[in-house]
Amino acid sequence: MTTTRTRVAIIGGGPAGLLLARHLQLAGHETVILERQTREYVMARVRAGVLEWGTVELLRSLGVGERMDREGFVHDGVGLAFSERQIRVDFKGLVQRSVMVYGQTEVTKDLYAALDAHGTVIIDEVDDVVPHDIATNAPFVTYTKVGVQHRIDCDYIAGCDGYHGVSRAAIPSAVLHQYEREYPFGWLGILSETPPVDHELIYAHHERGFALCSMRHATLSRYYVQCPLDDDVGDWSDDRFWDELSQRLPEQVAARLVTGPSIEKSIAPLRSFVVEPLRHGRLFLAGDAGHIVPPTGAKGLNLAMSDVHYLARGLIDALSGRSTTGLDEYSKVALARVWQAVRFSWWMTTLLHRFPDTGDFGVRIQEAELAHLARSEAARAAMAEVYVGLPL
């Protein structure tokens, strides 16, 4: 077994792990990132693309926002479609902030480039990653690479390896309190090389189910329709998808829809999931390792970014010998923001989807809530405030 040492061992080479390494890199602290997949796999993953304005400013402050500012799309609002009408929630006018449409894949590319330029160690295609002695002052991580076992001694371990990763499982079950809700439907999503139907996102509430019109850039569109969890993606031809989407949009929106072959198609389940605390000893959870939100509110990536913001601040203080207060308060501070995003994502999901057990009463409540949003500037401002992102 080979043994090396670093200040922080980061498990997971997605956006959360890469962003944490960038924070620490700029502060002069060494890290090692362990990633189970190949870099090509990580770079090819299709993920969300709506960045809160706080995330935009955070990426800029870390020197990885240049391409985002050049190629991203600033959105000053979103559309809500229901009852054959469409209203606009004007972010800029209501709360003086916007969001940026810039894919998670692109954020990942920018972070990789910055870390590579400064020699941060990123080890891909690792197996059997295990955190050890996390409740002591001398934690370490073991892993296997091409059949050879390795050990990394460190001061702290950051678990940024997602919902199915090993980090959360390393914390004793008696320590963790788990909160979860699984939703009784999924999202069928496609990616197509077609111009978006609108210059801003459109969320649609319809008797046939929810739909979302999104985009990655001017010639790459991302669309979703609510579907049963047990649907087989193979049963959804492109023609069937486009027909279903068209029926769920207002007539004037559907008339603008440009269809074409899909280049990616998948069905994703929806869940709300949070564990508390996000720390045990010298192991810290960030991003999907500690919480999952349905994509309706566009919060998943942004929550990972805010977790890392708080964690990096605490780690830098501790590693510099100044204070451990930031680490001691990390879980409490991060979870306060997490629960606000969980509430918002639950509200958006409950408002816009068809649930099998709510009946006519539930539908009329949804319609009344949407009518309230259309009528009340205060209600739209409350939605806009959280959508663009609460302060870090």
Q: Determine whether 15 is an active site residue.
A: no
Edge-to-edge order in the sheet of strand 77-82:
85-90, 77-82, 202-204, 211-217, 220-227, 177-192, 262-276, 291-292
Catalytic site residue from 205, 206, 280, 299? 299
Q: Is 163 a catalytic residue?
A: no
The reply to whether 387 belongs to the active site is yes
Query: Is pLDDT at 44 greater than 80 in this prediction?
Result: no
98 touches 76 (CB < 8 A)? yes
Q: What percent of the chain has pLDDT over 90?
A: 94
Angle at alpha carbon of residue 298, lines to 312 and 171, rounded to 5°: 45
Which residue among the candidates 112, 203, 310, 330 is catalytic per the annotation?
A: 203
Active site residue 139: no
Would the pLDDT of 216 be above 90?
no
Token pair, residue 52, equals 């809160």
Of 102, 183, 330, 387, which is the active-site residue?
387
pLDDT of the residue at 46: 65
134-155 pLDDT, tens digit each: 999 999 999 999 999 999 999 9
- CATH numeric code, 2-49+104-179+271-348: 3.50.50.60
Residue among 276, 286, 273 at smallest CA distance from 159: 286
Q: What is the pLDDT of residues 247-272, one digit of tens each?
A: 999 999 999 999 999 999 999 999 99
Based on the residue annotation, tell me whether 75 is a catalytic residue of this protein: yes
Specify whether the CB–CB gap between 289 and 167 falls below 8 A.
yes
Mean pLDDT of 115-136: 97
Confidence of residue 74 (pLDDT cuts 50, 70, 90): very high
Please determine, for residue 48, whether its predicted confidence score (pLDDT) is greater than 80.
no
Q: Considering the candidates 139, 196, 294, 295, report the single residue annotated as catalytic.
A: 295
What pLDDT, on the 0 to 100 scale, is given for residue 154? 98
The active-site residue, picked from 75, 280, 291, 353, is 75
Q: Please check the confidence at residue 246 and state whether its pLDDT lies above 90.
A: yes
Which residue in 327, 289, 290 sits closest to 310, CA to CA?
327
Q: What is the pLDDT of residue 358?
A: 87
- The dihedrals phi and psi of 147, each to the nearest 5 degrees, come to 80, -5
How does residue 18 score in pLDDT terms, banded at 50, 70 and 90? very high
